[in-house]
Chain A
Amino acid sequence: MTDSTAETLGETPTSDSKKRHKLGLWLSIIFVAALILGPGPGILLVNSPKPILGLPAVYAWGLLWYVVEVGVVIAFYRCVWRSDDGEVAN
């Protein structure tokens, strides 16, 4: 994944943010993977009427990726997105 992809997902690489940049890349990869596995072709892995942990398999699968996707957004918020860019120079 390139710098510009990381920027697309909210990170701006500056000299003091290498760690944040790296974390942003990993979170981006996890988020894309969650999309492919959750509502994407990954759903075919559990496409059965048989339940998982008592829940319909497809719904249980959805819950898993819901937790991952929301977790990634929270991680972006807490660790990656800058909080010092609230104003812009005119």
Chain B
Amino acid sequence: MNFTLLAQSDAAIADASGELGTAPYIVLGGYLLLLLVLGIVGWKKSTSGEEDYYLAGREQGWLVSSLTIMATFFSSFALLGAPGLVYKEGVTLALFSLNVPVAGLSVYVLGSRIWKIGRKKGYVTPGDMIADYYGSRCSLRFLVAMTGVLYAIPYVVMQIQAGGILSEKLFGEFDNAFEVGSILLAAITTLYIMIGGMRSVAWTDLIQGLLLIFGMLVSGFAMLLLFDGPLEFSKRVVEELPDSSLTVPGSAGGWPWTLLFTVCVLGSVGSMVQPAQWMRFYSARNVKTLKQGAVIFAAVLTTCFILGVMLIGIAGQVLYPLKFTQGVAMPASVNVEIPDDLADRLTIAESGDGRKLNWTWYGNNRDFGDAELAKLNELSDAPEFQSTVTELAVAINDPGKKAGVAPNPEVDADITDRADFDAILVVVLQKQLPKLMGGFGAAFASLIIVAIMAASMSTADSNLHAMSAVLTRDVYDQFIRPQATENERVWVGRIIIVIATVIALLAVIFGRDPEIAAKYEFMNMIAKMGLMAIAFSAQLLPVTIDMLFLQKGTGKGAAAGLAVGLLAAFMFGPLYSMLIDFLGSPAMMVQLQSAINGLKFTPMHGSVWGLAVNIPVFVIVSLITRKPAAEKIDEYRKTFA
């Protein structure tokens, strides 16, 4: 006999009256109007030509450069994905913030050299530099372009998805709020990139970057206020969260240190060599700008993360406890009775047969006092039923037992279709800030919600803009119409932006299908999709490091390494499973997948598997093929000296 034991938490009786009134409409409307104005001003200031459209004339100062690099790096991943991940996995994931200083360091270390050679040679895309250095006109340039596309599409998808989540939570009373929100975000972003190019993107990034910093810091500060200060906040977290939420590998057991470490090291650097950031290095006014950008990035954004938005996820676990499920072996027949005084907090549901008892409870330790735990232990004569709820929480970490977590219904009412952990920030703001600060709370919450919108748009615009540059210069100009004029290429770039946006929108709407959402978890968790995208861009690291620092590799080595790296990142990532399903599960592909799964001896970021083949292939092929021209190597070395 199967039982589900459901303990109602405080969240179930939480005050759901927190309403933001008309504030979000006014603030959102004003913000979107401002973006369009900036698009038009950017257009009026622009001159014709690719260098202006894609790099804003290479004249961005330290403030614009810093904020556009920050805004491109921080997306809905920062304001929805990261708190969602902390909400799902617990305090451990706050250490994810430690990837930010690594990225900050990369802004100067990689950025300054990319800027120097880019300025000297007039490069616009990463492919320009890589193909020129290695003397490879076709294969390498095409592979670099594909890397950019493989990174950009999932990143744009998750930004549009964030617009949908926001809209759904704010305007849920309207039909198709998710779809309308997604389409609006995509349409406005596309419009101002098309009108103003890099200048508009950078100016809007400036506004969006400031909003982002404000939103991240204020949301964390609000959590401390909500819990009557940092000491009380910390006390409640320690006392109330299950042990699994306070330790590695996290509440759902999904984040051992190997994964955390590889994400912090490779994920951060990988996202700094993606085309949009690379082009931001080109567009800086000078190296000093990048130096200042690096330190602002590392100091300000890490603080925003670890002392700001991460607190939302932690507070979320206290306010809206997760639902834990734990299978426990049971005798065939168990007699369970619920005492009257617990009946209002517990429900028993029967289903199925077999010898397994499925526990489900809303999981903070405070939900059960000692007396209640004792009563729970008396519920059955069966010895296997003698576990306390606290012990079960610890047992979650036992890899021999299958466990799972789901968001509290207060956070995600529709938990049967898709586990929407990413909504935690919006829910906390929507329900808690007005209670805490009244009218001011509604205004603050609205501004932070606009900051989320800003985070999404600033990354979507950068990636769409970079992707249009990459496909136009590295594919259209090289393989389709080499005789195209600059003006024609700019227009082709605009058309690419529209096509890419439509593809991303379709992926978002396709991913909403309950069956797909249940099958492919990465489609409905922003953080997972972001990490998947970075696994592709990280494959540019060996080439980048060789070109900027070592000058030992060859064009054929770079192309071979990049090709196998991308293939491995694809096959070790979630997209390969999707492809197998799409092709009707051919036996050979399924067997290959089993073999690949056997190689994953421990969870690590997807980039590791790609780099594990990319680097050796790059080195070996470089040893047996011809190096770039000596003059080219000398030119690079002199530029960096």
Contacts and interface: CB of A to CB of B under 8 A. Distances in A.
Interface of A: 4, 7-10, 12, 31, 34-36, 38-41, 43-44, 47-49, 51, 54-59, 61-63, 65-66, 69-70, 72-74, 76-77, 81, 83, 85-90
Bin the interface of chain B by size: 35 or more
A81 B286 CA distance: 14
Contacts of A59: 91, 94-95, 314
Contacts of B119: 88, 90
B43 interface: no
Contacts of B231: 54
B246 A49 contact: yes
B98 A62 contact: yes
Interface in B94-135: 94-99, 101-102, 104-105, 108-109, 112, 115-116, 119-120
A76 B295 CA distance: 9
Contacts of B260: 39-40, 43
A43 B109 contact: no
B65 to A, nearest CB: 13
Nearest to B296: A77
B308 to A, nearest CB: 12
B455 to A, nearest CB: 21
Contacts of B105: 9-10, 31, 73, 76
B141 interface: no
22 contacts: A12-B641, A35-B261, A35-B264, A38-B95, A39-B260, A39-B261, A44-B248, A48-B246, A51-B234, A56-B234, A58-B92, A58-B95, A61-B95, A62-B306, A73-B295, A74-B298, A77-B108, A77-B292, A77-B295, A81-B294, A83-B291, A86-B286
Nearest to A40: B261
B305 to A, nearest CB: 9
B309 to A, nearest CB: 14
B307 to A, nearest CB: 8
Nearest to A72: B101
Sorted nearest first, the 8 A-B pairs with minimum C-beta distance are A86-B286, A69-B101, A73-B298, A49-B243, A77-B295, A40-B261, A62-B95, A49-B246
A70 B101 contact: yes
A10 B550 contact: no
Contacts of B102: 35, 69
Contacts of A81: 108, 291, 294
Nearest to A54: B234
A63 B306 CA distance: 8
B238 A9 contact: no
B109 A8 contact: yes
Contacts of A9: 105, 109
A16 to B, nearest CB: 14
B302 interface: yes
B97 A87 contact: no
Given A4-B549, A49-B246, A56 B112 contact: no
A60 B423 CA distance: 26
B257 to A, nearest CB: 5
Contact of B112 (A48, A51, A66, A85): A85
Instruction: Tell me what chain B mostly uses at the interface: helix, strand, loop, or mixed.
Output: helix
Contact of B549 (A7, A57, A73, A90): A7
A39 B59 CA distance: 37
A70 B100 CA distance: 9
Contacts of A7: 549
Residue from A35, A40, A59, A81 having most chain B Cβ neighbours under 10 A:
A59
B265 interface: yes
B639 interface: yes
Contact of A86 (B238, B263, B288): B288
Given A70-B302, A86-B288, A65 B91 contact: no
Contacts of A73: 101, 104-105, 294-295, 298-299
Residue from A10, A61, A88 having most chain B Cβ neighbours under 10 A:
A88
Contacts of A87: 286
A26 to B, nearest CB: 15
Contacts of A36: 261
A39 B96 contact: yes
B299 A47 contact: no
Interface string B224-250: 000000010011011001010011100
Contacts of A35: 98, 102, 261, 264-265
Contact of B295 (A34, A56, A74, A90): A74
Given A41-B257, A57-B246, A77 B291 contact: yes
Nearest to B291: A81
A77 to B, nearest CB: 4
A32 B4 CA distance: 47
A81 to B, nearest CB: 5
B287 interface: yes
Given A43-B95, A43-B257, A73-B104, A66 B302 contact: yes
B98 A54 contact: no
Given A39-B257, A66-B306, A76-B105, A85 B287 contact: yes
B278 to A, nearest CB: 17
A73 B115 CA distance: 20
Nearest to B95: A62
Residue from B95, B97, B257 having most chain A Cβ neighbours under 10 A:
B95
Contacts of A63: 306
A42 B318 CA distance: 27
B238 A54 contact: yes
Contacts of B238: 49, 51, 54-56
A46 to B, nearest CB: 9
Contacts of A49: 238, 243, 246-247
A65 to B, nearest CB: 6
A62 B93 CA distance: 10
A70 B624 CA distance: 42
Contacts of B302: 66, 69-70
Contact of B94 (A44, A62, A70, A86): A62
A67 B558 CA distance: 37
A34 B261 CA distance: 11
Contact of B264 (A4, A39, A76, A83): A39
B291 to A, nearest CB: 5
Nearest to A65: B98
A70 B298 contact: yes
Residue from B104, B261, B550 having most chain A Cβ neighbours under 10 A:
B261
Given A44-B257, A58-B247, A63-B306, A39 B287 contact: no
Nearest to B110: A8
Given A86-B286, A90-B120, 10 more contacts: A8-B549, A10-B105, A12-B640, A39-B264, A43-B92, A57-B246, A69-B98, A77-B291, A85-B116, A88-B119
